[in-house]
Amino acid sequence: MCGICCVVTLCSQRVIPDFLSEDTLHRLRRRGPDSSQQLIKTVSDLSYKCLFSGHVLHLRGLVTPQPLEDANNNVFLWNGEVFNGVHVGDLDNDTQVMFHHLTLCRSEEDILSLFSSLQGPWSFIYYQASRHSLWFGRDYFGRRSLLWQFSPEADSAFCLTSLSGYSEPGNQWQEVPASGIFKIDLKACAATKSLSLTLFPWKYWYTEKAAEETFINVLDQVSKDLPSHIHLVMNESKLCLRAPVIPLNTAVSEASGECPGTNSSNIIHVVSVETLQGFLAEEHKKKLVCQFIDVLNEAVKRRVLCLFRDQDQETREVPSMSHKKAHVAVLFSGGIDSMVIAALADKHVPLEEPIDLLNVAFMMKEQAKHKGTTKRHPNHEVQLDLLCPQETCQDLHAKSGAHLCCFDVPDRITGRAGLKELEAINPSRTWNFVEINVTLEELKKMRTQRINHLIYPLDTVLDDSIGCAIWFASRGEGFISSQGELKPYKSPAKVVLTGIGADEQLAGYSRHRVCFKKYGLEGLNKELEMELGRISSRNLGRDDRIIGDHGKEARFPFLDEDVVSFLNSLPVSEKADLTLPRGMGEKLLLRLAAKELGLTASTLLPKRALQFGSRIAKLESHREKASDTCSRLKLFSVGEL
């Protein structure tokens, strides 16, 4: 994980601080706390100037300060992880490896071939000095944030950065589309005093037909959000990057395409572990489940082993577990996604090393607590009033570490249950269940100070709820149980595993059921294809900025290229069966995998969105829609950045 930034001016009158403020540098340093430095390249005879700023979070190999520069004046900024496709040795640093490969490239085709071969999340900026070219882009899924901003004047200056900085009115930041790789010919742009971007789009490598139409569609999609004075063109040779995954299998057989409920013999009304076991008795289903476990297991393995560990932590023996620190954490609700990730991580994280399970809860309002307790536990309701008044709940908890019922939100309850399942699977592992409790006052304070700048340029109610919940969860400050009492704890783990991508591929959202009922499997296929296509702009840039703010790196096993290709290869009827009840039909393949891994009750938990499970959605306003522009994110002016 790194914070990367490049500012380019094509006019000597423009100065770098117009784009790169001290506040922006401070936020970039939080992403990369282990090394920070800057480099300025001035090409006076061509009248352009570039500032490169790199901020490194050390995760593998030797600490490698950025930006990197070689003897030929090439400059490289890298925010990514190479998990496959290009060899990175156990003691190597992937930034150095990527820079070495780039400097060997002799043509545009060579550069595209290099990035087409990569597996893993990345964003990068590369200055190719000999050709006065600036290359940049994000991976196919957009798992690493990269924003751009262009000056409103035609003389053109622009900035690329991991997160937003100061913005003049009417000149907003936008996420760089994960549509391909961009190149700017700085020599030509400096001569014309205008900015032109060349796009090299992603393309499935074995689909040749309709290439022209594909290019036009991608150009139109990217151009519509650019300022009018910025020109976007397709590269003259019509060169493309090879997509790292195969296309979605949209085949629908007649039998599987029947309307819901027409095949009464297959209707299952009882949601039970025994029912899942019955599916696993089918040879074909069992084979698919084992294949899925194998590919997902490998994805998790790459993400928990590709990081620096102290020498005494390289063995799986158990000398003394008390001194070991966690290197890996899981955003953990106890739901099926996080349970499977935790169970697979347990297979590869050294046994003497704890795994942190980060469980976030937002304090329930008195009214909500009363509503949930009045009928069943009238005496307990009085106890809540005495113990947890709104203004003192956090203070009491911080001083005593006592268990407080006002944080018993749904995700906390399922999280504790999930902890017991994991302890049953591997009682030798230290599982740190980190209870992260957030009051309304702290939420408002940290949103204003830190979080809203990270969510930007996204601005909906949903972005606010999810962004805030992930920020507090990934910060990892809470309490863990030690000898029967809760004690303060701050997770030291630099790698945070998250389950995003499971719902989008395995029909986990309630809207997928609505779509299926209306349009059948063909409609569901289109919905799933759209979900994965928009995940870069809807989720991943935001989540990368949020988690990176703590000097931690988000890793997404369900979006591993091999996992996505495996799931894309299957017809949708093999991945989900929405004729089955909630808690079983959605993400059926994952539930069966969980059962095969030894999980029990968690295999049947219905999907519950983070904003509802953590109760952040009920903390401030009940009348908002998820797609509404969030007024709370408008509490700051863009100029404050």
Amino acid code (one letter) for 402:
A
Q: How confident is the model at residue 380 (pLDDT cuts 50, 70, 90)?
A: very low
pLDDT of res. 96: 96
- For 547-583, write each residue's pLDDT tens digit: 999 999 999 999 999 999 999 999 999 999 999 999 9
In-domain check, residue 345: yes
In-domain check, residue 125: yes
pLDDT of res. 378: 36
pLDDT of res. 365: 72
pLDDT of res. 388: 38
In-domain check, residue 593: no
Residue 131 has pLDDT above 90, yes or no: yes
Q: How confident is the model at residue 254 (pLDDT cuts 50, 70, 90)?
A: low
Give counts: helices (H), strands (E), the chain. 23, 21
- For 162-194, write each residue's pLDDT tens digit: 998 656 656 689 999 999 999 999 999 988 888
Residue 630 has pLDDT above 80, yes or no: yes
Distance of alpha carbon 504 from alpha carbon 540, whole angstroms: 12
Neighbour tally for 31: CB within 10 Å: 28
Q: How confident is the model at residue 429 (pLDDT cuts 50, 70, 90)?
A: very high
Shared-domain flag, residues 99 and 187: yes
Strands laid side by side in the 147-150 sheet? 35-43, 48-56, 2-9, 157-161, 147-150, 174-175
Lowest mean pLDDT among 50-64, 204-218, 551-565: 204-218
Contact 1, 11 (CB under 8 A): no
- For 89-119, write each residue's pLDDT tens digit: 988 999 999 999 999 999 999 999 999 999 9
Distance of alpha carbon 229 from alpha carbon 210, whole angstroms: 29
**Which secondary-structure segment (H or E) carries 437?**
strand 431-438
Residue 221 Ramachandran class (φ > 0 left, ψ -120 to 50 alpha, else beta)? alpha
Lowest mean pLDDT among 50-59, 264-273, 289-298, 462-471: 264-273
pLDDT of res. 316: 38
In-domain check, residue 270: no
- For 436-493, write each residue's pLDDT tens digit: 999 999 999 999 999 999 999 998 999 999 999 999 999 999 999 988 888 999 999 9
Shared-domain flag, residues 233 and 349: no
* Domain boundary pick from 210, 242, 274: 242
* Domain boundary pick from 211, 242, 273: 242
Phi first, then psi: what are they for 303, rounded to 5°? -85, -15
In-domain check, residue 267: no
- For 11-27, write each residue's pLDDT tens digit: 766 566 666 788 889 99
Helix axis angle for 94-103 and 108-117, nearest 10°, is 150
CATH at residue 196: 3.60.20.10
Residue 212 has pLDDT above 80, yes or no: no
Q: How many domains does the chain have?
A: 2
Segment 601-624 shows an average pLDDT of 86
Active-site residue, 2 included: yes
pLDDT of res. 275: 92
Residue 613 has pLDDT above 60, yes or no: yes
pLDDT of res. 164: 84
353: containing domain? 321-364+408-572+615-640
Shared-domain flag, residues 34 and 173: yes
pLDDT of res. 637: 41
Catalytic residue among 2, 50, 159, 630: 2
Q: How confident is the model at residue 539 (pLDDT cuts 50, 70, 90)?
A: very high
CATH at residue 459: 3.40.50.620
In-domain check, residue 76: yes
- For 586-610, write each residue's pLDDT tens digit: 999 999 999 999 999 999 999 888 8
* Domain boundary pick from 242, 274, 302: 242
